[in-house]
Amino acid sequence: MARVPRVKGTRSPRAGQGAIATMTVGGRSAHTSMPEKKIYKRINRKERLLAVRSAIAATGRSDLVASRGHASAKVKEFPLVVVDEIESLKDVESVKGALEKLGVWEDILRAKSRVGVRAGVGKRRGRRAKKAVGPLVVVAEEKGIRRAARNLSGVDVVKVERLSVEALAPGTHPGRLTVWSESALKKLNEIYE
């Protein structure tokens, strides 16, 4: 009702007069964006692969990982490569124990402490919380770790074939703290040669 024009001299709305276009102040906008419209930009294949390779390379540089704000003081050497048994962890406690031994747990605590409620209308539209990004676990085969790690704040588990720039460099900032399984690293050489 707020957009309906008022009758001059009164506060009553000018409802029921003429076509729909006269029902809104200044008229309705012509040719608005349709919900069927595909709103994305196609990127050339070579350019996309170059971006993924650059993001993968950035996970091996400690200065870039630190500049993203990851709490990784206990990690001495990058990239973090672990044995393949990490892929078959089935419960949260075993994943937590493995990440504590790697020295990555304090980054998960940092991500958990930075969960906050979004300002504005977005909180009513299915995106209530704003969350920090924690470590990324890249595996060759998913044998239960995704289900085990999904309840840890900021942790994402990705199969090596499904790697994307968005997972490796969230918010367009490269150098995400990444844990690679040995077989994922071998498979990576085959995929991105």
Hey, what domains does the chain have and what are their CATH numbers? 1-31 (no CATH), 45-112+131-191 (3.40.1370.10)
Q: What angle do CA 14, 16, 22 make, to 5 degrees?
A: 65
For residue 1, the model assigns a pLDDT of 56
C-alpha to C-alpha distance for 91 and 25, rounded to whole angstroms: 58
pLDDT in tens, the chain (193 residues): 566 777 778 777 766 555 555 566 666 677 877 778 777 889 999 999 999 999 999 999 999 999 999 988 888 889 999 999 999 999 999 999 999 999 999 999 999 999 999 999 999 999 999 999 999 999 999 999 999 999 999 999 999 999 999 999 999 999 999 999 999 999 998 988 7
- Which pLDDT belongs to residue 27? 66
Model confidence, pTM: 0.78
144: left (phi > 0), else alpha (psi -120 to 50), else beta? left
Q: Given this model, what pLDDT does residue 24 score? A: 65
Contacts of 44 (CB under 8 A, 6+ apart): none
Query: Which pLDDT value is given to residue 192?
Result: 82
